[in-house]
Amino acid sequence: MSKCNRIKKTNFKKFNINVVLTSTFGLNEFEKKITNYIKLGYEQKALKMSKKKLGNLQRAKKKIDSINHILKYNN
């Protein structure tokens, strides 16, 4: 099986570290800009900005979904 066909397992230790860091320190600067764009209704602009920052469309969509989740439960 080649590397690209393997399904990557989530490392729960790294996941928990990221959760703790975001809860204590908050969001990054570009994540704050993305939240502002989402609040104003500019979803395409937020997607374009996150794609430019992260380098991949799938990563950008995941980031926007996670930010939407944060906005949904923090407000």
In a domain, 51, yes or no: yes
Full residue range of the structural domain in which residue 62 is found: 28-75
Chain segment 13-45, per-residue pLDDT in tens: 887 887 888 888 888 899 999 999 999 999 999
In a domain, 13, yes or no: no
Measured distance CA(61)–CA(55) in Å, rounded:
11
Chain segment 1-15, per-residue pLDDT in tens: 566 666 667 778 887
**Buried residues in 28-61 as b, exposed as e (16+ CB within 10 A):** eeebebbbebbeeeeeeebbebbbeeeeeeeebe
pTM of the model: 0.72
The structural domain count of the chain equals 1
In a domain, 61, yes or no: yes
Cα end-to-end span (Å), the chain: 45
In a domain, 12, yes or no: no
